[in-house]
Amino acid sequence: MSSAVAAQQRQDVSIRDTVVQYRTVDVDTVRIFYREAGAEDSPALLLLHGFSTASHMFRDLIPRLADRFRLVAPDLPGFGQSDMPSRDSFQYTFHNLAQVIDRFTEVVGLSRYALYIFDYGAPVGLWIALKHPERVTAIISQSGNAYEEGLSAGWNSLREYWQEPTEQARDELCSAFTLETTLYQYVQGVNDASLVSPDGPALDNFYLARPGAHEVQVDLFLDYASNVALYPNFQNYFRRHKPPLLAIWGRNDPYFLPAGAQAFKRDIPDAQVHLPDTGHFALETHGAEIATPIALFEPLRQLLEGALW
C-alpha cells in the first residue's frame, strides 16, 4: 500500500470518527448557536459564514480539519439557529454583528484563533481583527473580500441602493428573496450543478422565510456600504500586522472576483492564493480541495507544532 493511499485511509477514518457538538450560548442578550469539533487544547479556527447561509456551510469542512484544530463555527445573529432579535432592540449593522461575535469568542474561551472568513464573515472577522490584532494568528479567506477590485458588477444594484435608499428600492430588494435567487448563488459558476447538494439552498430559504428575516437582511444590504468604506482600514491592518493569509476563491464567483484574492498579496506579499474552478459556495463542490491547502498552510502547521501558539 502506498503512503498516499494509507494517508487517505487515515483521513477517511478521522472524518468518520469526528464528533461535532451543537451548542448554544448566551452572549449578553443574544443566544448564539454554534458547531464545535476538535480538542480544546488544539489551535483554534473560528469559522464565520456569509449570506445567505449559516454554519451549516462548514458541515463537510469541519470533519476534515478536526484532527488538528479546535473548530468553532457560530451562526451570526439573525442567521441560522441563532437569535434574530427584533429590529427595535437590535440594529442590524456589521459592526454590531462583530461586537456580538467578538464577545462570543470570549464566552466560549477563544483567546487566540485563526479566522476563516467567507462573504459576510469577512467584515465581521476583520472588524474583530482591527480591534484585537494580537488575537488573530492567521486568516483564511474564502471569497472574503477587502478590496474594491474584488467587487463584481453584481454589486451595482446594491451600490445604487446605498446612494438612494428609497422605500421602493427596499421593497424591491425584499421581494428578491426567492428560491431561484438563493439557488443561483450556489450553482452560478459551477461546472457540474449536480455536485451541489440541494440541502444548502433549501435550508437557507427556510431561514429566510421566517417572519422579519427579509427586513433584517435588507438592513444588512444597506449597511454593507460601511464595510467597503473600511477597506482602507482593513488594508492598513494587513500591511501593519502581516497576518499569515491564505485566500481560497472560486474563480467563477459571480460576486467576488479573483482580483480580490490576488490583491491581498499587495499588502501581504507572502499571502497564498488558490483559485478552484467553481463558484461562490466553493465548499459545496471543492471541500477536499479547500481542506488540503489549509492543512498544508505552513503558519497553521507551525501553530500545531507550538511555534506560534
**How does strand 245-248 pair with strand 136-142?**
parallel
Confidence of residue 306 (pLDDT cuts 50, 70, 90): confident
Alpha helix segments (H runs only) across the chain: 3-17, 61-65, 94-107, 121-131, 156-163, 167-174, 179-187, 199-208, 213-229, 231-241, 258-262, 264-267, 283-296, 298-304
User: How far is it, in rounded angstroms, from Cα 62 to Cα 66?
Assistant: 6
Burial, 25: exposed, middle or buried (Cβ in 10 Å; 0-12, 13-18, 19+)? middle
Mean pLDDT (the chain) is 93
Active site residue: 49, 274, 280, 286, which one?
280
Q: For residue 143, which phi and psi values (nearest 5 degrees)? A: 50, 40
Q: Which domains does the chain possess?
A: 10-304 (3.40.50.1820)
For the question of residue 280 being annotated catalytic, the response is: yes
pLDDT tens per residue across span 174-210:
888 999 999 999 999 999 999 999 999 999 999 999 9
User: How far is it, in rounded angstroms, from Cα 63 to Cα 102?
Assistant: 24
**How does strand 245-248 pair with strand 44-48?**
unpaired
Residue keyed to cell 456600504: 225
3-state class (DSSP) for residue 75 = coil
Confidence of residue 6 (pLDDT cuts 50, 70, 90): very low
pLDDT tens per residue across span 8-60:
444 554 566 789 999 999 999 999 999 999 999 999 999 999 999 999 999 99
